[in-house]
């Protein structure tokens, strides 16, 4: 039996052959297309870049018991092949650690299911013998499935935490609010510290998470837990200048009708009418587009320092860069599940308003969440959304705002030249014979801002180095 949706994980990144085959090919770091095997000889061909990927490989194998052989081959750059060899050769200990390795599998990949896989699936190590793979497959005995499919879901919150105590300042960059929110949910649920909160609920918390959104946010993604009417209702609260039912304040009241400290009650009405922080920011930007004084604050030191419900949003600033209006918001406390997405839409709306008044197009919106947290009553819902809309997907590639590189082989040297997004050369040129050394120099020069760009550069420099060594022609991919 073969599952219609198999492979369960990362199938979009694999090369699919004959799903009736007994053979899966793991090419480690080598591009799958470079392992030349006829499609009728294997079921799937895919990479294994790190030991962390083994948990997905195992789940895919258990879900398709027709796979009886794994051909392991290719460049073992991170020793993920050694980790896989240890799993099949030695198994795991009681804590899920692969014997002879530092890799720990999820608790729901129990020793009994691992042993069942090890008894019935043979790992064939063909590293360094890639030209002989097709012949080796031809000599394998056909075998029937060894059981019914075993489906093991991804590890949920109750499986434990990834303890990384010193993490602060993680960054998310997406074109839209919906995608950024999925990324944030995944980060907090994976790496957030389980701790108490002042609301009587447990929480998972990350510190100083930075989200950058620069794209069209007019639509509402299907996975967001609200629809347009609810968002419009929230806008009324966010931009309204009344306290609102059950609210001790609204952001609108603090932003548009800020009460000066020490104002006597009989003068509050006049103070509200005369001090509009948003209008003040617009005036600064109109008079001096280079200003750093276009800022608004919601925190009343004399009241909020002792309040049981002080504002979460504390500061917004605006800056003009290359003719676009950028907005940055700081939250001292940020409920990523229940508050962040609506906050982001409202801030985007505010940014459009200010940009229109200043006569500029909106630039990126940056949100700094000092305490990025999810409360325990939302753990299950957050996990379901992550599973359905984020886990197992591929990163959406985006242009690096710092520019790009052209890579070439000139004689016995690799040459990488940096260009701005508009194509202009910057004068940063890197030469040498070692791809890794060039890559590290490029990163050190702060010329790469995105992980996908860094991964691409590493791959292309390795390809160029190999072409230089074997005398073949290199064409940048």
Backbone CA torsion sign across 395, 398, 404, 406: positive
Is the residue at 307 inside a domain? Answer: yes
Q: Does 179 lie in the same domain as 73?
A: no
Domain assignment of residue 225, yes or no? yes
Predicted confidence (pLDDT) at residue 22 exceeds the cutoff of 90: yes
Residues 223 and 125 in one domain: no
The CB-side HSE value for 389 (13 A sphere, CA atoms) comes to 20
Please calculate the CA angle 13-14-17 and round it to the nearest 5 degrees: 150
Is 26 among the residues known to form the active site? Answer: no
Quick one: 375 and 408 in the same domain? Answer: no
List, for residues 383-429, the tens digit of each pLDDT value.
989 999 999 888 777 889 999 999 999 999 999 999 999 999 999 99
CB atoms within 10 A of CB 188: 26
- Looking at the fold, whether 267 and 292 belong to one and the same domain comes out as yes
Q: What percent of the chain has pLDDT over 70?
A: 91
Residue 145 inside a domain? The answer is yes
Looking at the fold, whether 112 and 188 belong to one and the same domain comes out as no
Same domain, 303 and 241: yes
Which residue matches tokens 């005398």? 471
Shared domain check, 217 and 132: no
Does residue 394 lie within any of the structural domains? no
- With respect to residue 240, please indicate whether it lies within any of the assigned structural domains: yes
Q: Give the CATH number, domain containing residue 124.
A: 3.40.50
Are 160 and 107 within 8 A, CB to CB? yes
Does the pLDDT of residue 230 top 80, yes or no? yes
Residue 42 has pLDDT above 50, yes or no: yes
Compute the CA torsion angle 50, 56, 58, 63 (nearest 10 deg): -160
Give the rounded percent of residues in the chain with a pLDDT score beyond 90. 67
Query: For the chain, how many structural domains are there in total?
Result: 3
Distance CA 471, CA 353 (A): 58
Which token pair is 66? Answer: 């027709």
Categorize the per-residue pLDDT at 159 as very low, low, confident or very high, splitting at 50, 70 and 90: very low
> Which structural domain range is residue 216 located in?
171-389
Using the 3D structure, point to which of 130, 155, 180 is the last residue of a domain.
Answer: 155
Look at residue 94 and tell me if it is in a domain.
yes
231 vs 318, more confident: 318
Q: Which of 26, 155, 159, 312 is catalytic?
A: 312
**CB count, 10 Å around CB of 309?**
9
Dist CA 451 CA 419 (whole Å) = 18
pLDDT tens for 421-451 read: 999 999 999 999 999 999 999 999 999 999 9
Of 393 and 157, more confident: 393
Residue 164: inside a domain, yes or no?
A: no
**340 and 423 assigned to the same domain:** no
For 221, other C-beta atoms within 10 Å of its C-beta total: 15
List of residues 6+ apart from 20 with CB closer than 8 A:
2, 43, 66
Specify the DSSP class assigned to residue 404: E
Band the pLDDT of 2: cuts 50, 70, 90.
very low
For the full predicted model, state whether its pTM sits above 0.95.
Answer: no
- Give the model's pLDDT for residue 306: 85
pLDDT in tens, 251-271: 888 888 777 665 555 555 555
In a domain? residue 396: no
User: How would you classify residue 123: left for phi > 0, otherwise alpha for psi between -120 and 50, otherwise beta?
Assistant: beta
Q: Verify that 323 and 431 share a domain, yes or no.
A: no
Comparing 51-55, 177-181, 309-313, the range with the smallest average pLDDT is: 51-55
């Amino acid at each position: 039996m073969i599952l219609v949706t198999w492979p369960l994980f990362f199938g979009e990144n694999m090369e699919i052959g004959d799903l009736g085959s007994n053979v899966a090919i793991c090419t480690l770091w080598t591009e799958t297309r470079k392992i030349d095997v006829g499609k009728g000889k294997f079921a799937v061909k895919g990479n294994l870049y790190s030991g962390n990927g083994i948990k997905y490989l195992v789940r895919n194998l258990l879900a398709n018991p027709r796979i009886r052989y794994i051909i392991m081959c290719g460049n073992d750059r991170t020793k993920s092949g050694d980790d896989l060899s240890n799993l099949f050769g030695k198994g795991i200990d009681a804590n899920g650690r692969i014997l002879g390795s530092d890799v720990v599998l999820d608790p729901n990949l129990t020793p009994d299911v691992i042993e069942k896989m090890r008894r019935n699936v043979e790992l064939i190590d063909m590293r360094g013998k890639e030209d002989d793979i097709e012949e080796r497959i031809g000599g394998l005995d056909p075998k029937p499935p060894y059981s019914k499919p075993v489906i093991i879901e991804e590890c949920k919150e109750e499986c434990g935490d990834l303890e990384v105590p010193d993490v602060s300042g993680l960054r998310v960059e997406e074109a839209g609010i919906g995608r950024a929110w999925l990324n944030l949910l995944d980060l907090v649920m994976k790496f957030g510290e389980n701790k108490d909160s002042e609301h009587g609920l447990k929480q998972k918390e990350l510190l100083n998470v930075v989200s950058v959104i620069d794209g069209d946010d007019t639509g509402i993604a299907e996975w967001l837990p609200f629809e347009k009417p609810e968002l419009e209702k929230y806008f009324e609260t966010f931009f309204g200048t009344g306290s609102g039912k059950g609210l001790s304040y609204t952001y609108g009241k603090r932003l548009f009708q800020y009460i000066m400290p020490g104002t006597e009650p009989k003068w509050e009405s006049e103070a509200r009418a005369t001090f509009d922080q948003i209008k003040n920011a617009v005036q600064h930007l109109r008079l001096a587009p280079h200003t750093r004084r276009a800022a608004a604050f919601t925190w009343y030191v004399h009241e909020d320092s002792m309040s049981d419900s002080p504002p979460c949003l504390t500061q917004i600033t605006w800056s003009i860069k290359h003719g676009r209006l950028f907005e940055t918001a700081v939250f001292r406390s940020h409920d990523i599940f229940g508050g962040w997405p609506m906050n982001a839409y409202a801030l985007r709306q505010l940014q459009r308003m200010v940009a229109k008044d200043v006569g500029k197009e909106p630039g990126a919106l940056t949100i700094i969440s000092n305490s990025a947290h999810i409360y325990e009553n939302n753990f299950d819902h957050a996990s379901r959304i992550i599973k359905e809309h984020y886990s197992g997907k591929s990163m959406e590639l985006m242009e690096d705002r710092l520019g790009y590189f052209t890579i070439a082989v000139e004689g016995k040297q690799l040459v990488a030249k940096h260009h701005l997004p508009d194509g202009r050369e910057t004068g940063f040129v890197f030469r040498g014979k070692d791809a890794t050394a060039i890559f590290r120099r490029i990163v050190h020069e702060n010329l790469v801002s995105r992980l996908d760009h860094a991964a691409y550069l590493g791959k292309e420099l390795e390809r160029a180095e190999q072409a230089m060594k074997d005398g073949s022609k290199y064409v940048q991919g």
